[in-house]
Structure 1
């Protein structure tokens, strides 16, 4: 079987697009320009379908999230949007935590923010980012960030892995030295865990004491009770037995 040069070119282009990868740093150092600690860097990116976007939690120390939002409500979680959960990074953490999402609709702008609120709201301090957004008109990144800075509150609702226009296939990769507070941890516990890296750029301390692992699929984090599990299993067994002729 022979392929035309055009077909070969299109195939190569498709593979290249699928394998594309970009990195967005989550958090920075106090001395970093354009926002200090509270920023995504770069704040805007262009990413065609199939691109893997790696969110690298590089602000040390820090406690941040990557939470999908919308242009009109930049500091509120988007219904059906993706959410990394809170990741607390302490000094000397290596390698750095990271989270991969894949672009599934490059024709739709993707807006996101950090939902941390301690010691002050990160989103309303300007910690927002965007992918595939217009460079002119009303819905630019500058306008989005201005909306965020005017926000009166920062939404804490928990999202998931699958978002709108981009999705993750797994939880963040969090090495030793960092702590992941996924959907199972309360917003208050998550926010207080590790960083007081607010607009001043300061940070303090370690993660809060908790008997939970923080992993959203762990039994403790999901609020799973062994007695409840046993009861469910017993009911299932009885139901199955009742169906036997």
Structure 2
């Protein structure tokens, strides 16, 4: 029979092993949103663009593009540049020329690692970012159907991006808050709802209830209109929305 001291040591080792296992499972992965013209891959990129993450892992998206106006919007393999019904969405985050400090962050927690997760940037200016290759995958196969390269090739064959506004809670992953902080100069457009009933991938409208509990049946089309009005205003002021 083990002495009490040996038993306590064994229990302590077992507990440390459990803690180490949990920490290994719950990763924190940093993803750069956007880049610079002088950077490898240019301004239309998520970096890294494909990675694996277990349940409970937190993906921290950093809006570091300078300048940049990007989103993280969930989509599907077969329809890479259209918001997925009931998918997650960060909204558009504008970073002006010269950058901001600190960079806005958006934390997305993986809730189902059994299926691949696909996402894209739905910005249209100066050309659709999705078709330019600004897409990403989580837990996708390394090759073949459903892989990052398969998703990327599908995206590059599209000509437009859907503008529907999704929600913080998506399929297989969710966020608890919108991107932040938003220091002077950084702006959030198309604020996602807390949860969504459905999100039309083609019409740019959403039947989601807003975070404040009011109906937003025309939220997607309104945000699309507002985004383009903002683009015209920005162009008149000499702001490049990347």
**How far did 1:105 drift?**
1.2
Q: 2:239 aligns with which of 183, 192, 205?
A: 205
**SS where residue 152 of structure 2 aligns?**
helix
How do residues 230-241 of structure 1 correspond to structure 2 at under 5 angstroms?
Answer: none
Distance 1:46 1:77 in 2: 21
User: In the alignment, what sits opposite 1:178?
Assistant: 186
Provide structure 1 residue ranges, at least 5 long, that are not aligned to the other structure.
196-203, 208-245
**How far did 1:8 drift?**
4.3
User: In the alignment, what sits opposite 1:65?
Assistant: 71
User: In the alignment, what sits opposite 2:87?
Assistant: 81
Deviations 1:40-64 (A, max 9, x none): 1111111111111011011111111
Distance 2:16 2:168 in 1: 34
User: In the alignment, what sits opposite 2:226?
Assistant: 189
User: In the alignment, what sits opposite 2:119?
Assistant: 112
Using the size of structure 2 for normalisation, the TM-score is 0.75
Distance 2:103 2:228 in 1: 19
How do residues 94-243 of structure 1 correspond to structure 2 at under 5 angstroms?
Answer: 94-173=101-180, 174-183=182-191, 186-191=223-228, 193=230, 204-205=238-239
Task: Give yes or no for contact 1:62–1:194 (8 Å, CA) kept in 2.
Answer: no
> Residues 28, 192 of structure 1: CA spacing in aligned structure 2 closer, same or farther, 3 A cutoff?
farther
**How far did 1:117 drift?**
0.7
- Aligned CA-pair RMSD: 2.4
Distance 2:99 2:15 in 1: 49
Count residues in correspondence.
199
**How far did 1:32 drift?**
1.7
Using the size of structure 1 for normalisation, the TM-score is 0.74
> Residues 192, 142 of structure 1: CA spacing in aligned structure 2 closer, same or farther, 3 A cutoff?
farther
**SS where residue 131 of structure 2 aligns?**
helix
User: In the alignment, what sits opposite 2:204?
Assistant: none
**How far did 1:98 drift?**
1.0
Task: Give yes or no for contact 2:55–2:111 (8 Å, CA) kept in 1.
Answer: yes
